[in-house]
Structure 1
Amino acid sequence: MTDRLSYLVKQVLKDAATAEELQELSDLLEADGDGTISRQIELLLRQDIGMDMPYDHRRWDNIASSILAADRPAPAPLVPIHGNGRWRLGVAACIALLLMSGGVWYMLQHKAAKPVANTAQRPTRQEDILPGADRATLTLADGTEISLDNAAHNTLAQQGNTTISKPGKGQLAYQSGSVLSHEIPQYNILRTPKGGQFQVQLPDGSKVWLNASSSLRYPVAFTGNSRTVELNGEAYFEIAPNATQPFMVKAAQTNVQVLGTQFNVMAYEDEASIKTTLLTGAVKVNDKRLYPGQGASIDRQNGTLSMQEHVNTEAVIAWKNGLLQLEGEDIHAVMRLITRWYDVSVTYNAPVNAHFRGIIPRNVPLSQVLKMLEMTGEVHFTVTDKRIIVSP
């Protein structure tokens, strides 16, 4: 079965599958009651077929068009598999969801509807909006601003006994010499714009990945009894252990106390809540302890803290790994992600009720992201300059 399944999937991805082969794979998916076939397909895509192959919009278009053009009954919505929270492909036409896009297989929550002709005016390739990249600005303690986009890979500045350098693309690093405990702290601010991301290694060796439209304020050398930074936006942290000098992240109404761990903090001002997710180690969020796999959410409006016992941590940090991973988010949440990464604005010309589940690479042009979302048949887009109009 595994050999046959591998053959069928490869035929689909090569746009060489016959109608009988498409139907055979569809039938397998339709009968996949326990998710075994779906998991085998995912394994094939990740290990055997080449997940790191370069993105090719022509190839994607050909695969999508040939599958979606097949004359099959409209599929029913996907349904959850009880116990593990995964979703299975419910009907034969969901073969259309086996799409390679930058080497990541894509799964939509709703029906794989045929494209509606002329419902969206997509930009041409020449006008297409490109995804974000490694972009940031560093503000030194004296107010000097350094653009890191095209800065050379060498020493950028010296502040006291701390050397600031750019060791590689999208990376900033601090190397501290001897520090006197009574020294007055000097603070730097690393800012990413919409459509930007950057990584910084702090003076203590801790690493921080900064998502788009975010900022991190931190001292050029950690002194005193704690290591404290301030975050706006979203960041993923890998903290160097130091039990005598605990690490703390301040983000709006949230204080995250750390010893040595990996965690994500999302604190965008346009989000209703501030979310902290723990991957390894231990943290306290406003004195509430988290364990690996748990999350804490603080409502911006009333300050209420709620706990999430089982969080899909892969989805939370997907942005760090170059992905947009959707876990049932509504259209408004999805469009907020898109506006930050593609630096666009969004308007709605009518109420839209659509939710999405799937994985999209962050390195594809905007037109392809919108095309994937439109495959649900529940939402359509018109793009003018850098403005997206959303319609039902």
Structure 2
Amino acid sequence: MGKSIALSLIRKYLSGSCTASEAATVEHWFDLMDAVPDHISGLTDEERVLMETKIFERILRNIEAESHQKPIFIPEKSSYSWKVLAVAASLFLCLSMALLWMQYSSSFSPEKSFKSSQSASILPGGNKAVLTLDDGSSLVLTDANLGKVADQYDMSVVKTAEGELSYKKRKGENPSEMVYNTITTPVGGKYSVILPDGSKVWLNAKSSLRFPTSFTGAERNVQMTGEVYFEVVKNPKQPFKVRSGGTEISVLGTHFNVMAYDDEADQKTTLLEGRIHLSSGNFSKLLKPGQQASVNPSSAIKVSDNTDLEAVMAWRNDLFIFKDMEIKEIARQLSRWYDIRVVFKGTPSKVSYTGTIAKDVALSEMLSMLQFTGLKYELNDHVLTIIE
């Protein structure tokens, strides 16, 4: 039927009232499009955006079919209306739609932007960590067998079948002073630990946690770097305190996430459940669930309400979730997960990206979709150059 179609049929399709035959007709027409044609007039702005969305979905499905890859579906709890994540088994990424079509039609060039196939060999991160014991010796947990990996006085350190670390009380010598262990994840690593008090901790890539092998004092004190999510066992008689740089977080029992990477402008603490008290310098705040505190050395603590908890917890759920995120912030996340260095040739774009991406994809699959949106880049060894 060429590139002509009745406006009434398009509207019927967008409203979901088409018959199966009519829907097939419209979807076939979508397959012939790479944007909403200029000759389609009479659509409202909302209808035009929805139509662009549907065309974009068809493009992604066609690419997926050609590459014989399996789509991934966004969980039902997701707020996204687009359900299919396509291209190379896991990726769904879009620009603000008007910018997407403008870039796609004017500057997309596979031959120029994809200079190397090296990305195919760069795999995503996984369960990787090193445990440093009190005597300074280290254990590579990635290579350790399941079961007991070490004894720390009256505690056995165990690698569980779930691939996490656990501390279990045993008969042994009680140390005369506090004994500390440190777990460290490399770039491209993650790991989880059940602390001696039963609290559970997840470490994102390039993070560390220093903790005692037994919480015997008036407080349960730990120190962290990078990004760590805590589910703290409640104990009013023994507050749990997290120190990161110049910030201290005090809790009795709660769930919260702390992001404190050196290459991020602010340290961000997000509360999911319970209450936490946060202090930094001369400032302090009491957080309620759903709030996020941002700490910057040059300013007071800023508290945001109604935080997007799904986006904050994406890493814990093995996802990248980008919501109106600029390429510089995306680049920092990619560098930590894929163990690459990202540099910019020119001024980084201010275009915002939105999308949900599984973290178990190879770098090649991630870059394929970024390339599709019009982003130009080169990859040499483990250096990704983004060309603006």
**Corresponding residue number in structure 1 for 2:100:** 111
**Corresponding residue number in structure 1 for 2:86:** 99
CA distance in 1, matches of 2:373, 2:130: 38
**Corresponding residue number in structure 2 for 1:338:** 334
Contact 2:119-2:379 at 8 Å conserved across structures: no
Gaps of 5+ in 2: 1-12, 70-78
Can you list the C-alpha shifts for 1:306-359, whole angstroms capped at 9, x where unaligned? Answer: 111121011001001011111222221111101000000111111121321211
Contact 1:101-1:360 at 8 Å conserved across structures: no
Q: Which amino acid aligns with 1:191?
A: T
RMSD: 3.9
**Corresponding residue number in structure 1 for 2:348:** 352
Answer 1 or 2: higher relative contact order, Cα 8 Å, separation at least 6.
2
Gaps of 5+ in 1: 12-16, 46-55, 65-85, 90-94
CA distance in 1, matches of 2:327, 2:198: 38
Q: Shift of residue 106 of structure 1?
A: 4.1
For residues 179 and 261 of structure 1, do their structure 2 counterparts lie closer, same or farther at Cα, with a shift above 3 Å needed?
farther
Q: Which amino acid aligns with 2:356?
A: I
Map 1:238-317 onto structure 2 (within 5 A). 238-286=231-279, 287-300=284-297, 302-317=298-313
Q: Shift of residue 111 of structure 1?
A: 1.3
Question: Aligned pair 1:367/2:364, yes or no?
Answer: yes
CA distance in 2, matches of 1:180, 1:32: 72
Q: Shift of residue 19 of structure 1?
A: 2.6
Q: Which amino acid aligns with 2:202?
A: W
**Corresponding residue number in structure 2 for 1:76:** none
For residues 32 and 223 of structure 1, do their structure 2 counterparts lie closer, same or farther at Cα, with a shift above 3 Å needed?
farther
**Corresponding residue number in structure 2 for 1:59:** 64
Question: Aligned pair 1:211/2:204, yes or no?
Answer: yes
Can you list the C-alpha shifts for 1:285-325, whole angstroms capped at 9, x where unaligned? Answer: 1131111110000013x152111112101100100101111
The percent identity for this pair of structures is: 33
Q: Shift of residue 181 of structure 1?
A: 9.7
Map 1:168-187 onto structure 2 (within 5 A). 168-177=161-170, 183-187=176-180
Equivalent residue for 1:19, pick from 13, 29, 37: 29
Quick check: 112-121 or 231-240, which moved more?
A: 112-121
Question: Aligned pair 1:132/2:137, yes or no?
Answer: no
**Corresponding residue number in structure 1 for 2:8:** none
Q: Shift of residue 160 of structure 1?
A: 1.3
Structure having the higher Rg: 2
CA distance in 1, matches of 2:172, 2:218: 13
Q: Secondary structure at the match of 2:124?
A: coil
Q: How many residues align?
A: 341
**Corresponding residue number in structure 2 for 1:237:** 230
Can you list the C-alpha shifts for 1:198-233, whole angstroms capped at 9, x where unaligned? Answer: 000000111111000111000000011111110100
**Corresponding residue number in structure 2 for 1:329:** 325
Q: TM-score, normalised by structure 1?
A: 0.76
Contact 2:120-2:364 at 8 Å conserved across structures: no
